[in-house]
C-alpha cells in the first residue's frame, strides 16, 4: 500500500511551488475547492497553476501542456497569444486551425501533440 495521497501545486512552467496534504489544505483566497478539483481531474491550468496528486514524493517539475511557442515563450491560452501578438483571439484561433507560422510578424511554433 502506498502512502497517503497529497497534492503538488506547480506554477505555469511546471515547477513545484507547494505541497498540500489535501484539497482543504490547498484552498486559499486564490484557489477554490471546485477549481482545484476540476484542475486535478482535467490536469489543466487553474489560476496559473497545475495540481497533481502524488503518494510518495512529488516531482520537482512536470511537463505542462501548451499551444505554441513564440519568442521562446510557451503559451497555454489563445487569449495570452492574442495579447502578446496584438491580435484578436479569433485571429489566433484561425492561425492555429490553418497551421500559420506567423502571427502579426512573430514566428509561431504550434504544439501539435
Global pTM?
0.77
Tens digit of pLDDT for each residue in 14-46?
A: 999 999 999 999 999 899 999 999 999 999 999
Long-range contacts of 71-74 (CB under 8 A, 24+ apart): 71/106, 71/107, 74/13
Taking 70 as the pLDDT cut, the residues of the chain under it are: 1-3, 113
> CA–CA distance from 58 to each of 13, 25, 53, 107, 108 (Å)?
15, 16, 8, 35, 32
Identify the helix (H) or strand (E) that includes residue 45: none
Amino acid at each position: 500500500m502506498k502512502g497517503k495521497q497529497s497534492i503538488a501545486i506547480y506554477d505555469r512552467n511546471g515547477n513545484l511551488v507547494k505541497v498540500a496534504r489535501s484539497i482543504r489544505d490547498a484552498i486559499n483566497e486564490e484557489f477554490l475547492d471546485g477549481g482545484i478539483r476540476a484542475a486535478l481531474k482535467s490536469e489543466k491550468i487553474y489560476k496559473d497553476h497545475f495540481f497533481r496528486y502524488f503518494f510518495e514524493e512529488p516531482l520537482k517539475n512536470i511537463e505542462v501542456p501548451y499551444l505554441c511557442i513564440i519568442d521562446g515563450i510557451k503559451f497555454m491560452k489563445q487569449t495570452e497569444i492574442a495579447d502578446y501578438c496584438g491580435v484578436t483571439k479569433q485571429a489566433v484561433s484561425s492561425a492555429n486551425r490553418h497551421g500559420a507560422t506567423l502571427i502579426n510578424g512573430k514566428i509561431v511554433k504550434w504544439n501539435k501533440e
